Structure 1
Amino acid sequence: MRRRGQVQSGTTDQRLLDTQDSTDWLHGDPWRVMRIQSEFVEGFGALAELGPAISVFGSARTAIDSPEYEAGVRIGRTLAEAGFAVITGGGPGAMEAANRGALEAGGLSVGLGIELPFEQGLNRYVDMGVNFRYFFVRKTMFVKYAQGFVVLPGGFGTLDELFEALTLVQTKKVTRFPIVLFGTAYWGGLVDWVRGTLIAEGKASRADLELFHVTDDVDEAVALVTKEV
């Protein structure tokens, strides 16, 4: 209620319906909150009935003729044959490989894309795709609708997703979430640093080494992320 000097000219309906010359409101924080909310709603709605699924991560720069790409195809195929949907970031490289393996095996191939300042788009092997503006919303979907992670060799984006998952498991925000690093040669230096620096200097506990597994075997990787699901 407003009286006397607090009475405002016009009404809320009028301000809503009148044509506005400026579109600055599109870039304000209140509108961003609505966009963030809509992305969560869209993601939840699209993935809620997905069923058992595993998220597979890896570099968008993985060459199609590389051993890493072939490993991604085999991992996607084996997961699909085990009855799991395969979720990736939907891009090229290792993500495409896992989607391709799932699709060729008759499984459900899911891609969760991200808006980037350069063209990427969803790869052609994605059956169900959702694009996001915000990394943090996308990462929530990766964890919420997957029972585990398989992490192929990758760069900063892959490391971001890996360490977010490790932090969630370490802090018991998720109670059971197997994480497999595929490629002992690639991940060996990181594991050595965790052991020789983080743990040695008391920044992590020795038990934290049990939060993940490292392997070069596709069947072992799939068994580790799908057991007891």
Structure 2
Amino acid sequence: MQPTSSESSVPALPRTTSEREIETLAEFDETVAAHGTLAGHRVQAVDLTQRTDRLLAADVAGAVFLGCPMDPAAAARVRAAGALVFPPVPGLPFDPYRGHLYTPDELFDGLSTPGGYEATPDARAYAWFQRTKSDGDVFASMLRAVHDDSVSDALDELLAGARVVGVMGGHAMARGTDEYAGAARLGRSLARAGLTVATGGGPGAMEAANLGGYAAPFADTMLEEALQLLGKTPSFTPSVTDWAAAAFEVRGRWPRGGTSVGIPTWFYGHEPPNAFAAHLAKYFANATREDGLLARSNAGVIFLPGAAGTVQEIFDNATPNYYESRGEPTPMVLVDRDHWTRKLPAWPLLQALARGRSMESRIALVDSVDEAGEALRRMTRETT
């Protein structure tokens, strides 16, 4: 049916939520130029203080402005014209309406100042969380929830269409050890196979896997040299500043590395994020972070030796595989037979849980990290 003349004069709006989201000033300008309207759009954490004329002229009916600085006259006008305006929240060390994931440079900004790590946005956000998490203030809990939902939205946009493999493991794995080097080689091999490596985003095994993803585009010698440099600062204790500075030294020597994802949490804020994940989806709510990390690992999960947190992740991942609540079970590979059968015998329980179910063919136990990638590939081949 052909539109009437009045229908044809109405600007065509994007049909999907993602297409209606405006997260940069360039997208704002492009949308106004292309459609002549902001009606129905969601403008997220974009500084509009230099776009007053466009805000005064544009149709904004049904638009939502989330944390967008703007001139008071513009804010008053868009409210009067039918838009919702959620103004920026002053005094916060984070933006609850952010439209993109964090980067290591953003979270560690100020690391080289006299204040060191304690002066960084990451440390200040953790300090704010510590002050507010138990005070019962509904406003603070709302800000945390809005922030975490914004991070989830940005993470979904980043990973759309990607084949993601999770690498889980303990924070205590020290730089300079054979185990750390093995986890880094694993991350590199997965990235070179075209997979997006996703970790819990912290130190130890998580950092090692992200380092491997970072090293993927370089010659093999780069990783060996980087491991030697990092081995001089084995742990984030006693000094997060020195630990993080060593990672930025590696990044400075080999810039523009490969991309991987880290999904850390301020719930465990005493563990800093690592600087080798190109994208950091940092959450306040650990439960949201854990479920999101595992749910997005659509190409499977590799579990390196760890303690309570890693054991929890094994069975958090096993539950939807058992019930097939996310569709066909995804591969699970446990690394280090002695660790998972004797020290922390999660494997026998996982094996018993899987018996007779479709997930039984999607679990594997291997002796070494060098076997993990092949086990993952084998299970993937068997289901394609």
Cross-structure match for 2:145: 36
Alignment of 1:161-180 (within 5 A): 161-174=313-326, 175-180=328-333
- Match for residue 188 of structure 1? 341
Cα deviation, residue 86, structure 1: 0.8
- In structure 2, the residue matched to 1:212 is 363
Residue aligning to 2:168: 57
Cα separation, 1, equivalents of 2:167 and 2:309: 13
After TM superposition, list the pairs within 5 Å mapping 1:1-80 onto structure 2.
27-28=136-137, 32=141, 35-50=144-159, 51-80=162-191
Cα offset, 1:33, TM superposition: 5.5
Q: How many angstroms apart in 2 are the aligned matches of 1:154 and 1:215?
A: 15
Once superposed, what is the RMSD of the aligned Cα atoms? Answer: 3.0
Deviations 1:66-112 (A, max 9, x none): 22212211110010010011111111111111000110013322111
Aligned length: 202
Which segment drifts farther, 49-58 or 213-222? 213-222
CA positional deviation for 1:47: 3.7
**Aligned-residue offset at 1:64:** 1.4
CA shift for structure 1 position 35:
3.2
Indicate the residue corresponding to 2:275 in structure 1: 124
The residue number in structure 1 matching 2:263 is 112
TM-fit CA distance, 1:205 = 6.0
Q: Following the alignment from structure 1 to structure 2, what is the Cα–Cα distance between the partners of residues 29 and 171?
A: 35
Which residue identity lines up with residue 41 of structure 1 in the other structure?
S
> For the residues of structure 1 that align with 2:145 and 2:375, how far apart are their CA atoms?
34
Q: Tell me the distance in 2 between the aligned counterparts of 1:207 and 1:70.
A: 37
How far apart in 1 are the matches of 2:169 and 2:283?
18
TM-aligned CA distance change 1:47 to 1:186, over 3 Å:
same
* Distance change (3 Å), C-alpha of 1:216 and 1:192: closer
Aligned to 2:333, the other structure's residue is in SS state strand
CA deviation after TM superposition for structure 1 residue 171, in Å: 1.3
Distance 1:205 1:43, change over 3 A: closer
For the residue of structure 2 that corresponds to 1:54, the secondary structure is: strand
Relative contact order, higher structure (CA 8 A, sep 6+): 1
Provide structure 1 residue ranges, at least 5 long, that are not aligned to the other structure: 1-22
In the alignment, the residues of structure 1 paired with residue 276 and residue 366 of structure 2 have an alpha-carbon distance, to the nearest angstrom, of 26
Which residue does 1:140 correspond to in 2? 291
- Pair 1:117–1:62, CA change in 2 (3 A): closer
Query: Is the partner of 1:126 in helix, strand or coil?
Result: coil
Instruction: Give, in angstroms, the shift of residue 53 of structure 1.
Output: 1.3
Would the aligned equivalents of 2:320 and 2:329 in 1 still touch at CA under 8 Å? no
Gaps of 5+ in 2: 1-131, 218-257
Name the SS of the counterpart of 1:78 in structure 2: helix
Cα distance change on mapping 1:133 and 1:191 into 2, 3 Å: closer
Q: 1:185 to 1:97 in 2, by over 3 A?
A: same
C-alpha distance in 1 between matches for 2:199 and 2:354: 30
Q: Secondary structure at the match of 1:92?
A: coil
**TM-score (normalised: structure 1):** 0.76
Check if 1:157 corresponds to 2:341: no
Quickly say closer, same or farther: Cα 1:104–1:136, change in 2 above 3 A: same
Shift of 1:125: 1.0
Summarize the Cα distance change of 1:205–1:143 in structure 2 as closer, same or farther, 3 Å threshold: closer
Q: Distance in 1 between matches of 2:153 and 2:265?
A: 16
1:152-173 CA distance string (max 9 Å, x none):
0001111111110011101111
Amino acid at match of 1:113: P
8 Å CA contact 1:72–1:97 kept in 2: the answer is yes
Distance 1:205-1:85 versus aligned 2 partners, 3 A rule: closer
Identity %: 28
Residue identity opposite 1:61 in structure 2: A
Mapped partners of 2:324, 2:177: distance in 1: 36
Distance 1:124 1:162, change over 3 A: same
Change (3 A) 1:192 1:224: closer
Check 1:62–1:29 CA distance in 2 against 1; reply closer, same or farther (3 A cut): same
